[in-house]
Amino acid sequence: MIPLNHMQIETIRNQKRDLEVNVAKALNRYFQQHYKYSIQRLTRRLLFHILSIEKGKLNSTLADKQGAFLLFARGVDPSWYGLNEFLKRELFWTLENCSDIIRLFGEINEKWKNLGLQSLHEKGQLGLRPEPTFVKVGSGKPVKEGGWGKDFGHRHRSEIGEDQRVSRREPYANIGPIVRGVEKFKFEPKSVIGAIDRTFGLRPEGGDVSGTTTDSIYALNWAGGVAGVSQDAISAVQLLPLVTMVPQGHHTTVECAYPLSRHGYINYHIGYYTTLAPINAPNRFDNVLASFDGPGKNKHILVWGRGAGEQGVQMNGQEEINAFKKIARVLSAYGFCVTGGLRDFGEALNIMKTFSPNLLAPRLQQLQPQVGLSELERKFRQFGLPRR
C-alpha cells in the first residue's frame, strides 16, 4: 500500500480520465463489429414511434434541439420531415446516431401528456426512470429509506456559464459544435457521483448520474419486445450510452455504470474494467476489457479529505488489488459516499475494516504515521511549531 498526497492523486486522476475514455472507445469499436445491426433494428422501432406523433406537436418539440443532439448538428433537420428522411438511411446509421434517437425518445416520453403517449404509459408498457433511479437535490424525495443521507441526491449539478466554459479536446472524440457534459456542468456539494469520483481518484467532472442511460434501459427493453431482438442482445446493447457518451465527454464511466448496475445489467467495480461486461455475457467482452486491467495500466486508490488537504493510498500488488475490488463495487461505494465521501483517515480505516478487516485495514493502520495526520497536524510538523 503506497501513501499518496494531493499532487500525486491529481496526477492519477488525469491518467484515469484518459484511461476510461480509451476503455469506452475500445467498447465502441467492439459494438461496431458485433452489435450494430441489433442496435439499428431497435432504434428503427423507436424512431417509428416518434414519427407516429402528430407532425405539428413533434415539430414544436424538436424546434429547440438543434444544438443538443449531434444528429441535428450534422445535418439532419430537427423536424418530422428530417427524421422521416433519416429513417430511410438506416444502413448508414452510426452508433452515435442510434444513441441520439434513443435519447430523443426518452426526452419525448417525458412529455407524453402533450405528445399522445398517455395510453402507452398508462398501460405500463413504457415507464422511464422509476424512482429511485436518481433523485435531484431539492425534489423533496428521500434518497435512502430511514433518512440516512436524505439531504443528498444522486444528481446535484449546475450549468457553467458560457463565458466560463473551458473547451476540452483530448482524449475525447470530435463532436463539432456540441457542448460536452464535462464542459457544460459542474458538480454541486451534494452530488453522490461527485463524492464517488473524489473517493476513488477519478476526475470530478461530467453530467452527474446519467438520465440518458436510465431512459435507454427502458426504451431498448420496450423496443426489443416489438422488434424481435433476443434478450441476450438487448442486455449487451444496454451499454450503448456508455460506449457513445463517454468518448464524447457527455458523461463519465461511473455516471453510466451506476444506473446499469442499479438495474442489474452489470455489476461494476470502479476501475475494474472487466466488470463493465454484461452479467449474462461476461466472457464475450474479455478480449476488449482485460488489457485495461493489466499490471501497471491502472491504479486503484482510496482518497479522503478535500482539496489540497486530501490524502490517499494506492493498492500495491495483486493481493491488495483483489481485496480492494470489494470496496470498489459501485453500489457499495454509493452507500458510503452518499453523505459526501470520506472526510478523514478514521473514516477510510473504518471502510477498510468493513470490507477487508484482515488485509487492507491492518496495512492502512501501519501507514497512520504517514497519512493519518490531520491537515493542521501536518502543518505543525512541517514548520516545527510547538503544540500546546
Give CA–CA dist 125/205, Å, rounded: 35
H or E, element range at 311:
strand 311-314
Q: Are residues 105 and 167 in the same domain?
A: no
Domain encompassing residue 3: 1-35+140-388
- Residue 157 · residue 185 · CB < 8 Å: yes
Residue ranges for the chain with pLDDT beneath 70: 110-154, 225-228, 282, 372-388
For the chain, the domain total comes to: 2
- Supply the angle between the helices 95-109 and 36-51 in degrees, to the nearest 10: 40
> Peptide bond before 189: cis, by omega within 30 degrees of 0?
no
Q: Are residues 251 and 356 in the same domain?
A: yes
Q: Are residues 275 and 162 in the same domain?
A: yes
132 is a domain residue: no
Amino acid in position 347: E
Alpha-carbon dihedral 117, 118, 119, 121, rounded to 10 degrees: 80
Give CA–CA dist 141/225, Å, rounded: 32
Coil vs helix vs strand at 187:
strand
Instruction: State the CB neighbour count (10 A cutoff) for residue 280.
Output: 13
Residues 240-292: tens digit of each pLDDT: 999 998 988 888 999 999 989 988 889 999 999 999 999 887 678 888 998 89
Last residue of a domain, one of 77, 94, 122: 122
pTM for the model stands at: 0.85
Last residue of a domain, one of 91, 122, 153: 122
- Residue 333 · residue 270 · CB < 8 Å: yes
Q: What is the pLDDT of residue 226?
A: 62
Coil vs helix vs strand at 238:
coil
Q: Are residues 266 and 332 in the same domain?
A: yes
Neighbour order of strands in the sheet with 2-4: 2-4, 311-314, 301-304
